[in-house]
Every structure is written in C-alpha cells, then in structure tokens.
Chain A
Amino acid sequence: MKIPEQRFKIVVIGGSAGSFSVVSRILSQLDPAFPLPVVLCLHRLKHVRSGLVEGLNMKSNIPVVEPYDKDKLKPGVAMLAPSNYHLFVEFDSTISLSTEEVNNHSRPSIDYAFSSAAYSFREKAMGIILTGANKDGAMGIKNIHEKKGYTIVQDPSTCDVDAMPQAALKLFTPDQILKPDDIVKILNGLKA
C-alpha cells in the first residue's frame, strides 16, 4: 500500500448495501484534523429516510452534515448526499442538488456525484467505491480515473455485497484495491 504523492481537493466516497458499517469505521478512524472536504454518496432504503446522518455522526471523528443546495465544501467536513436528491459538486466548490429521475434505480446516484467531482476537480479528486449491491458508481469512479484523479476500490473479498466494486473493476483498473483499514491509512496520510 502506497500513500499517493499528489495533493487532492476533494474525497468522494460511494457505497450502498453494507456500506454503513464500513463508512462509520472509516470515519471513526479518520484523523480529527483531516484536511480535505469529503462527500459521501450512499444509497439508502427508500422508506428509511432519516437517521443516517445522526448514526454516522455518533461514530465519526469529523462532522457529517446533509448539505443545503449551494453550500460550500469545507475541509474536514463530510457532506452526505441528502435522501431523495442527486448531488453534484460544482467548479466553485459548492454543492448543487437535483430531483431529476433516478439513475440506476438510485437517488442519490453515485455515478452523478463522482462524475461531477471528476469534471470539477479532475486530478485533484480522489474517489473511493465501497461495498454495494448495484453498478451505480462504477461509471462515476471511472470518470475520476479518466480525468487523472486517484481511485480506490474496496477489496471485494472484504465486501458484504461486492457487485459495486466488481462493476467498477470490470470497467478499469483503479490505483489501489484495499481493505477498509488500509483505506483509512491512505486517507490519514493525505495532506491539504
């Protein structure tokens, strides 16, 4: 496992089935002084729309918030895509939300969030795909890879459901394939 030399401006993390425990584990081991903005795009059950942000905050070393439209990314704050909205990252580091159609049966769509980060931040974006039950996210993290950003896919052997990581690995070869604890080590090695 190698800590990347390049400097980043954003870390986007996506996952669905089983990702809650992985995300909380990552957030609970993160350096409280983590220097970069984080965007979390997690699929949620349609009829369980509340409680996720509270649950993550109980474990997390950095604040987790559900942003309002046009809120600005902040270093050391994790912004969780609100339920039933797509989330886009804009060039000026603000968040835009949208209620257009579901993508891959998902809203928020991980593809949309990741692609917007790729487009806005190019090589300054780091994308991480975690355990998940569908292919949403695979295209998005590939976009980050194409724009020379840094890509990490959770090691499928450590996933509850590996459909999402497998879908990503089918499309391209990420910079690293890691288990959650090593993902944390990479994140804690990043500089502003």
Chain B
Amino acid sequence: MTYKEYLQVLKEHSPYDFSEYSDNSIFRRIQKVMRDHKLTLEELGARTQSDKFFVEEVVEAITVNTTELFRDPDMWRYLYEKQLPLYHNNNVINIWHAGCSTGQEVYSLMILLNELGMLDKARVFATDISQKSLDSAKKAIYKHQIDKGCIENFSQVFKNTDGVEKLFSKYFDIDKKTDIISVKPFLKDNIKFVRHNLVENNLPFYNKMDIIFCRNVLIYFNSRLQNRIVQRFFDVMFSHGTLVLGAHEGLSGFFKTKFDRSGPVYKKSNVFHFRY
C-alpha cells in the first residue's frame, strides 16, 4: 500500500479527506503514527477500516499544530495600530478564526480588542478540525508559554517593557513556577468554538465576516485546495474585509487581484472584476 492509497482508505471509511494535503508533510505525519503505534501501512489501513475511535486518534495526530500567543509580534502590532481601529464605528465585528488550533491567537486578538475598547463588539467564531484542540482552546490554560517567549512578544506588540507584567496579568492568571497561564474568563464571553473541517464545503455560520484569521493552516494543503478555501473566504467576507494569513503564506494566481496587500495582511478588494 502507498500513502496515497492509505489516504483513499481514510477517505472512504471516515469523514476525513486528506487527499489534497501537501504530500511530504502529510506522509511524514502518517509515518509518525505508524512508528508510534508500531504499525505497517497495511495494518494502519486495516485498523482504519474497522476502528472508528482509532481513526479519530489518527486524525488528531496528523492535524496537530502549534500556535503561540502573539506569534509574529510585528503583524499583531500592525493590526493593533492600523487595522482594528478601522472597525471602531462598527456595532458588531464578525471574526472567524479558521483553524484556531488551541486558541492562543483567538485570545491574542481579544486582548487587542479589549485594549482598544472594542471587546464587546466582537462576535467570534473559532473553528478547527480537531475536537481535542477546541477543548483546549475553550479551557484556555496554557503551559510553557513564558518559556516560549510570550512575554517578549507581548512587550513587542505593546511597545511596553516596564508595565508589561502588569498588562499581562490583566489577561492571565499566572503560575510562574510551573509556567502555566490561564486566560481570564471575561475574554471568552463572545467566542463560539465550533468543530469544522475546512476541506468540506459547508460553513458553520450564516454571518458575513469582517475579519478572517487563517494562520499557518493553508500550508498543509496543496495549491488547488488552498485556492478553493480562499475563494470561500472571499465569498463570506464583507468588502474591505481583512484576511490574516501566516507570515510565509501568500495568495496565488488570480486571488492576487481580488485582495490588496496592506502591510502583513490582505484586504478584500472592492474593484469590480470581469470574468472572462
């Protein structure tokens, strides 16, 4: 059996379709599952056909991803200074975090909105393929973030080194000894966490979006699937909506003309496009 054939088995015997994921990165992850469970590809295929719970475990293992509070501080600084204030006169700001993983960036954005006095305008949908990740995101208790440099990120975003500890403790209960931080409940009020697989064509809400975050998620997909998903983002966004991708993700082909680059983010273009 080849990896491609295994992905076909997975597609036929589960709700999950990984056939349009980037080959080498998905293969490596399947290899890891094989190693961890000491299975050959054939055995993995057989178990995938017969054991629903095992399939969920495999899916968790191959979709697991890392995220940080304020990863890429310059981008967050830009949102804070230049983008989010544009929504100041909105009554409601609809935000979709597509592929939110364990939620650190969902809360990063809530912190910025609160600092701008806009927190109660936010209506946030945070979606992910992994129930386990969503559960962690809801719980919002994070380990080893301080070790990973979240306080440095924080002070870079707010250009504030003296008061940064105070600012940080406004949003987190902190146990420095164990390096465990938990998000204070008031940040969680307007967030809906919903399980959703971006590969599928449905959407878990009816709203149009002002801001879509999809950071370091599209990198796992091949270009064709990426373009399909970006088209969906385009369709579900208000004009002038803001699309926030990862630092090394770009828009390809004709999407380059449908979005305008603004610093590190993309704005839905308002220009009328002829279709030839």
Residues of A within 8 A of B (CB): 46-47, 66-70, 82, 84-86, 88-91, 94, 96-101, 112, 115-116, 119-120
Q: Looking across the interface, which residue of chain B has its beta carbon closest to that of A85?
A: B248
Interface contact A99-B23, CB-CB below 8 Å: no
Give the docked Cα–Cα distance between A96 and B29 (Å): 14
Residue of A46, A67, A91, A116 near B248 (CB, 8 A) is: A67
Which residues of chain B are near A94, meaning CB under 8 Å? 223
- Asked if B24 and A99 sit within 8 Å, CB to CB, the answer is no
Q: Is the CB of B250 within 8 A of A116?
A: no
Question: A68 and B249: CB pair below 8 A?
Answer: yes
B58-76 to A contact mask, C-beta < 8 Å, 1/0: 0000001111000100000
* Interface contact B28-A66, CB-CB below 8 Å: no
Provide a sorted-by-A list of 26 A–B residue pairs whose CB atoms are within 8 angstroms.
A46-B149, A47-B149, A66-B248, A68-B249, A70-B252, A85-B216, A85-B219, A85-B248, A86-B25, A88-B28, A89-B24, A90-B22, A91-B23, A96-B23, A97-B216, A97-B248, A97-B249, A98-B22, A98-B219, A99-B65, A99-B67, A99-B219, A100-B65, A101-B64, A116-B28, A119-B27
Give the docked Cα–Cα distance between A82 and B218 (Å): 16
Question: Are B29 and A116 in contact, with the CB atoms below 8 A?
Answer: no
* B24 and A97 contact, CB distance less than 8 A: no
B contact face: mostly helix, strand, loop, or mixed: loop
Name 8 extra pairs, CB < 8 A, besides A70-B226, A91-B23, A100-B29.
Answer: A66-B248, A88-B22, A96-B23, A97-B216, A97-B219, A98-B216, A101-B66, A119-B24
Interface check B264, CB cutoff 8 A? no
> Contact: A68 with B152, CB < 8 Å?
no
Q: How far is the CA of A96 from the CA of B24 in the complex (A)?
A: 8
Partner of A99, one of B152, B226, B246: B246
A82-B149 in contact (CB<8A): no
**Chain B contacts with A in 188-238, Cβ cutoff 8 A:** 216, 218-220, 222-223, 226
Interface residues on B, range: 20 to 34
Contacts of A84 in B (CB 8 A): 71
Give CA–CA (A68, B218) in the complex, Å.
Answer: 12
Which residue in chain A gives the minimum CB-CB distance to B252? A70
> Residue A98 contacts which of B23, B25, B247 (CB distance < 8 angstroms)?
B25
B216 contacts A116, CB within 8 Å?
Answer: no
Q: Which of A69, A91, A94, A116 has the most CB of B within 10 A?
A: A69
Known contacts being A99-B67, A101-B64, A101-B66, is A90 close to B23, with CB within 8 Å? yes
Centre residue among B24, B25, B216 by max chain A CB count within 10 A = B24
Contact present for A120 and B149 (CB under 8 Å): no
User: In the complex the two chains form, what is the Cα distance from A66 to B249 in whole Å?
Assistant: 11
- Flag if B248 contacts A47 (CB, 8 Å): no
In-complex Cβ contact of A47 among B71, B152, B220 (8 A): B152
Q: Which residues of the other chain, B, contact A119 by a CB distance below 8 angstroms?
A: 24, 27
Cα-based distance from A116 to B223 in the complex (angstroms): 18
Q: Return chain A residues, CB-CB under 8 Å to B248.
A: 66-69, 82, 85, 97
Q: Say which residue of A46, A70, A86, A97 sits within 8 Å of B223 (CB atoms).
A: A70
Cβ-defined partner of B66 (8 Å) among A46, A47, A100, A115 = A100
A97: chain B residues within 8 A (beta carbon): 216, 219, 246, 248-249
Query: Given A46-B149, A68-B249, A96–B219 Cβ distance below 8 Å?
Result: yes
Interface centre among B28, B71, B152, B223 (most CB of A within 10 A): B28
Residues of B within 8 A of A89 (CB): 24
Q: What's the minimum C-beta distance from B142 to chain A, rounded to whole angstroms?
A: 15
Residues in B with CB closer than 8 Å to A100 are: 25, 29, 64-66
Q: Which residue of B lies closest to A98 (CB)?
A: B25
> Which residues on the B side are within 8 Å of A120 (C-beta)?
24
